[in-house]
Amino acid sequence: MAYKHTNSKGVTYYLNSKDVTLRGGKVQRIYYFSKDERPEASDLPDGYSVNENPRNGFLTIKKG
């Protein structure tokens, strides 16, 4: 089940993740929000919380 969050403006966003390869060859998982459900949907990782920018409603996740 994908994690979804509704921001203060009433728009629902879904959390997605994918693995990307950095220039040094290291593989890192990135998380991002989208307005539609996608196959790369993800649950909120343990130890992370969702933050919302009060000015524009943009969502990010943060450790802690």
The pLDDT value given to residue 58: 94
Tell me, yes or no, if the pTM score tops 0.85.
Answer: yes
Closest CA to 61 of 46, 47, 48, 45: 48
pLDDT at 24: 96
pLDDT tens per residue across all 64 residues of the chain: 789 999 999 999 999 999 999 999 999 999 999 999 999 999 999 999 999 999 999 999 999 8
**For residue 64, what pLDDT is reported?**
81
Do the bridges between strand 48-52 and strand 27-34 make them parallel or antiparallel, or are there none, so unpaired?
A: unpaired
User: In the chain, what are the domain boundaries?
Assistant: 4-63
- The string of DSSP codes covering 1-64 is ---EEE-TTS-EEEEEEEEEE-TTS-EEEEEEEESS--TTB-PPPTTEEEEE-TTT--EEEEE-
